[in-house]
A and B are shown apart, each in its own frame.
Chain A
Amino acid sequence: MKRTSIASRVGLPAAVAGLLIFTLFPVYWMMSTALDPRASSRGSDVLPSGVSFEHFSRVWNEGDFDRYLLNSAIVGLGTILAAGVLALFAAVAVARFRFTFRTSVLIMILIVQMVPLEALVIPLFLQMRDYEMLNSLLGLTIVYIALSLPFAIWTLRGFVATVPKEVEEAAYIDGCSWPRMFWSVLLPLVAPGLVATSVFAFITAWNEFIFAYVFMQDSDKYTAAVGIYQFFGENDTAWGPVMASSTLVTLPVLIFFVIVQRRLASGLAAGAIKG
């Protein structure tokens, strides 16, 4: 695609600029308010009244954010690893095999996530109590795995389905066993899908609030998403610390994405070679 028409020479940069403004302005607002020493009275000023790290240091020192971020990272990574593996297996099953109840299973996977989370809080709480998984990061991780699986299975199913069957068959003709074909042919080809699903799973785990709050009795097991809420008071909201803690929650996701983004590109390369 090396066409250089006038439209693309002007249109592309304009589209990029528009996209960046739309996506980043609210983010800019969050971050600049986090730095604004008089955050609560900012009003409509595009620039903050000054730059100071006082809200960040308050969040970090008083708000226990170092611990919360660590918890979030443990839960987040646990979720993406487990959800990725489980979803990939399941996706291969539904995309590559024909079996009775296949459609029912697929629909069921969709249906379980249609229920509003609010309605699940109490049943799931009691369920986890019976599994003795309350007040534990592992229990929370398992819940997030469950929450991210439906999307992951359906998406990966789409990716597995787009891999031409001939590619697989070629592998068999070369004498590969099924597991070997899975590992060295299918996996690289669906890598971009795995990236997309793990980004999704990570964000699900990272930003979820109500379970992370309700399930934990000890505050040292809270995740960062819960940490934000401590700055909403009954009578007033400390906007500076709210925005600073939100920034602290947002940044690791970005870092995570920058890391996995390379995979997205290498997935492309793999796809191009094999395709």
Chain B
Amino acid sequence: MKESLTAEAAIAPPKEPSRPGRTSADAARRRKRLVTLTRPWLLLAPALAVLGGLLLWPLVEVGKLSLQEYEVKFGGGVGTWVGFDNYANLLSHELLWRTVLPNTVFFAFACVVLTVAFGTAVALLLNRLGTIWRVICSTAIMAAWAMPAVTGTYVWVWLFAPEDGLMSRIAGGLGLIDPETTNWFTDRLAFYAIATLNVVHHGFPFVAITVLAGLMTVPKELYEAGMIDGASAWQRFWRITVPALRPIFLVVTILSTIWDFKVFTQIFLMPGGSGSNEDVMNLGVYSYIEAFAKDDYGSGAAAAVLLTLLLIAITLVYIRTLFRQGEEDL
């Protein structure tokens, strides 16, 4: 059934010429088959070559590294095979289970939900605006995205600086906190609230722009039909927009998840985030310190592999749930 939907099949109606040359018809058919078989691979080849050479191969190297005790050496390091020692060490760390993983998972979850929800809401808003306001708003959104993450993080830290920052002043003025004794950054929850704000601020434009682009490809007739049927805006969103944009939601959700699990800079640069406050460590910072600051690349690679496995698991769950109801597959 799938095969019949492909372009090749669609333009290959069985219009057999009545020539008796059976072999030549066979040859033609075989050529057609060959084209059908090879065209997707030809189309994929350049992209796969780049990905294979620059990401997949180093990824294999990372996997090999995770089974080694690796020492940086002049002109190329030396690895000694140690089996699963690095993984065992990593998983036996109490800090990982008690602090690092919960921080990473909850933070990523909050960021993904907020980023996707807020980004989608903004996309719907933009879609309703007239041209001028849409240009203004989407340019403003782009500014949030374009601002380097490093700078953005410092700005948020600046705004929430205890006692002297604008937000602390406001909160102090409203009597919500005692500025003298409040340091947002030493409190786990407040720390991550600020980090979430930062990550969502920097991440939602990606969702908004992508979903907006998707909304623009949804045929207007579908909505008109929906309105004639008397569907409310809410119903139209769930019954028309969401199904039509399912592949796009899938990709923004998966990618947001991947990025938010890997968040490093935005945590590392916050006060206490670089490791001096264990309470706020996440997996990115943890593996960075274990591996790269301490020059233990084997452990770092093991942490990277674990993170990858975790993400693969989550991604598969997403794909399952998102495509369970629909008849389409991946």
Chain A residues with CB under 8 Å of chain B are: 1, 8, 12, 15-16, 19-20, 22-24, 26-27, 29-30, 42-44, 46, 85-87, 89-90, 92-94, 96-99, 102-103, 105-120, 122-124, 126-127, 131, 142-143, 145-147, 149-151, 153-155, 157-159, 161-163, 165, 168-169, 172, 178, 181, 189-190, 192-193, 195-196, 199-200, 203, 206-207, 209, 225, 228-229, 242-243, 246, 249-250, 253-254, 257-258, 261, 264-265, 267-268, 271-272, 275
Q: Is the CB of B301 within 8 A of A12?
A: no
Query: Cα distance A161–B243 when bound, in Å?
Result: 12
Contact of A112 (CB < 8 Å), options: B56, B136, B138? B56
Q: How far is the CB of B300 from chain A (nearest CB, A)?
A: 6
Q: Which of B22-80 contact A (CB under 8 A)?
A: 36-37, 39-41, 43-44, 46-48, 50-51, 53-59, 61-62, 65, 76-77
Are A275 and B220 in touch, CB under 8 angstroms?
A: yes
| B277 on the A face (CB < 8 A) | no
Known: A93-B43, A159-B214. 8 other contacts (CB 8 A): A30-B152, A42-B158, A44-B161, A112-B56, A114-B307, A149-B47, A151-B255, A165-B5
- Contact B201–A15 (Cβ < 8 Å): no
B213 touches A110 (CB 8 A): no
Chain B residues with CB under 8 Å of chain A are 2-3, 5-7, 10-11, 36-37, 39-41, 43-44, 46-48, 50-51, 53-59, 61-62, 65, 76-77, 122, 125, 128-129, 131, 133, 135-152, 154-156, 158-159, 161, 164-166, 168-169, 201, 205-206, 209-210, 212-214, 216-221, 223, 244-245, 247-248, 250-251, 254-255, 258, 262, 264, 284, 287-288, 291-292, 297, 300-301, 303-305, 307-308, 311-312, 315, 329-330
Contact of A90 with B43 in the complex, beta carbons under 8 Å: yes
B55→A113 contact, CB < 8 A:
yes
Min distance, Cβ B84 to any Cβ of chain A, angstroms = 17
Docked-complex contact A123 and B61, CB < 8 angstroms: yes
Do residues A123 and B58 form an inter-chain contact, with CB atoms below 8 A?
yes
Do A103 and B213 form a contact, CB below 8 Å, given A110-B254, A123-B58, A127-B57?
Answer: no
Interchain CB contact (< 8 A) of A172 among B10, B219, B223: B10
Residues of A within 8 A of B164 (CB): 43-44
- Knowing A16-B137, A29-B155, say if A149 contacts B40 (CB, 8 Å): no
B193 to chain A, nearest CB (A): 15
Q: Tell me if A265 and B131 are in contact (CB < 8 A).
A: yes
Complex Cα gap A172–B6 (Å): 12
Q: How far is the CB of B308 from chain A (nearest CB, A)?
A: 4
Given known A99-B40, A118-B300, contact A178–B7 (CB-CB < 8 A): yes
Q: Please tell me if the beta carbons of A146 and B292 are within 8 angstroms of each other in the complex.
A: no
Question: Do A192 and B307 have beta carbons less than 8 Å apart?
Answer: no
Min Cβ gap B117→A in Å is: 14
**Nearest A residue to B210 by beta-carbon distance?**
A196
Contact B158 A29 (CB under 8 A): yes
Give B305's nearest chain A residue, CB to CB. A115
Given A97-B39, A199-B209, A207-B149: A114 and B312 within 8 A (CB)? Answer: yes
